């Protein structure tokens, strides 16, 4: 197993993400199968386990804690997260934190994260009535949290702002990072911003929900540098292993075969040749089939609606590739009057675009697909209603 230094702790470079555990036909976590996978992971050198308050309907923390209780507490690092991004009546950090300790059966968490700090959740995290960040700083000083950090799917601009204001209190950061999102979600910018500040990175979604573990063979064969015997998953992991700022790469393994393959990949650090890295980035561009915006910014200067056109095109490309909740959250975070439907169709942007992009056409298509995206705001409203119903 490869090990890295994270906040002064020796952690396995491969972390077990407890979000996609094996389940029985009735949808409940398969405890026996999960236990066997944890045993295999620990025998293979894994010592970092990542769960969160909402995973598996709140049961991931329970199962993770029960299984790890069979091992000495100092032999593993347990990470979980505070669900401040879930705007609901459940705002008391004291109540949630004590519940998490009880669910996991531990007296402290090695790594504790503010879950999904992004444009729409920051007001909750900063709300003085809740005192969330202050409370968890107190828990860190008390030793009940050894290291405090955060996870985020936010845009780079927001991340920079958060780091300016709260960076000195955050010891590490968890971001979505893989060779596809290196450009698709501007993950390279986030990685650079964090490492320049000396903030270590934990990676989530290294295989983009499994999509990078099974590439179309024709696409892989189009890149001679990828003609070796390593699997698609191994190539994706090697891309991340080559980044010195990445300390833990989380994999949400749900089958023993995945565990065995990943343990083999992380058994030694193999340098990623520059030609292979460039080939992977070329594959990413082919996968995206995206609008070729270079973010030069010429279009923004003359937009009468004041739209951040490069940012909207990035979201459009992401939505076209994988219309999931992450892009839905980003769309929810757009300021009023700054969405694709607010494009006036004047064409001033297209007239100055070096790539000759028909921006109004892109905005019209983006407006068309917006209703199909999962809405984080709608999820939060539903949780508010559910919480009110429970109180009644």
**Per-residue pLDDT at 325:** 77
Give me 294's structure tokens: 């270079």
List the Cα angle 150/154/158 in 5-degree steps: 95
**Per-residue pLDDT at 390:** 44
**Per-residue pLDDT at 66:** 97
Residue of 353 and 203 predicted with greater confidence? 203
Indicate the average pLDDT of the chain.
90
CB atoms near residue 354 (< 10 Å): 11
**Per-residue pLDDT at 381:** 60
φ and ψ of 189, to 5 deg: -65, -40
Residues 287-302: pLDDT tens digits?
887 788 878 888 988 8
The average pLDDT across 30-46 equals 97
The average pLDDT across 76-103 equals 85
Residues 193-211: pLDDT tens digits?
999 999 999 999 999 988 8
pLDDT tier at 391, thresholds 50, 70, 90: very low
Distances (CA, A) of 369 to 71, 209, 290, 343: 49, 22, 15, 15
Residue 384: pLDDT over 60: no
* pTM of the predicted protein model: 0.83
**Per-residue pLDDT at 89:** 47
């Amino acid at each position: 197993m490869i090990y890295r230094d994270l906040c002064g702790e020796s952690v396995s470079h491969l972390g077990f993400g407890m979000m996609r555990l094996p389940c029985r036909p009735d949808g409940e976590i398969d405890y026996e199968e999960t236990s066997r996978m944890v045993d295999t992971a620990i025998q293979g050198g894994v010592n970092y386990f990542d769960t969160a308050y909402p995973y598996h309907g709140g049961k991931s923390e329970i199962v993770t804690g029960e299984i790890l209780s069979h091992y000495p507490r100092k032999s593993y690092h347990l990470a979980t997260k505070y669900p401040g991004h879930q705007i609901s009546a459940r705002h008391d950090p004291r109540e949630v934190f004590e519940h998490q300790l009880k669910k996991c059966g531990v007296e402290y968490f090695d790594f504790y994260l503010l879950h999904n700090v992004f444009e729409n959740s920051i007001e909750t995290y900063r709300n003085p009535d809740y005192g969330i960040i202050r409370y968890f700083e107190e828990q860190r000083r008390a030793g009940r949290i050894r290291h405090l950090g955060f996870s985020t799917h936010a845009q780079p601009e927001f991340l920079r702002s958060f780091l300016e204001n709260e960076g000195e209190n955050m010891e590490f950061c968890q971001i979505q990072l893989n060779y596809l999102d290196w450009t698709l979600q501007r993950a390279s910018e986030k990685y650079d911003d964090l490492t320049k500040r000396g903030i270590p990175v934990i990676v989530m979604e290294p295989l983009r929900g499994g999509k990078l573990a099974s590439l179309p063979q024709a696409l892989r064969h189009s890149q001679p540098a990828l003609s070796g015997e390593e699997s698609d998953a191994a190539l994706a992991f090697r891309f991340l292993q080559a980044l010195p700022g990445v300390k833990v790469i989380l994999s949400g393994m749900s089958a023993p075969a995945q565990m065995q393959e990943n343990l083999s990949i992380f058994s030694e650090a193999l340098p990623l040749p520059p030609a292979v890295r460039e080939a992977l980035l070329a594959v990413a561009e082919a996968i995206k089939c995206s609008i070729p915006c270079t973010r030069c910014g010429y279009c923004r200067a003359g937009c009468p609606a004041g739209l951040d056109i490069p940012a909207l095109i990035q979201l459009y490309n992401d939505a076209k590739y994988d219309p999931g909740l992450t892009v839905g959250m980003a769309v929810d975070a757009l300021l009023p009057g700054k969405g694709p439907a607010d494009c006036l169709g004047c064409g001033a942007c297209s007239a100055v675009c070096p790539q000759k992009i028909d921006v109004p056409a892109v905005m019209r298509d983006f407006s068309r697909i917006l209703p199909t995206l999962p809405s984080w705001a709608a999820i939060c409203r539903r949780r508010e209603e559910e919480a009110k119903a429970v109180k009644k």
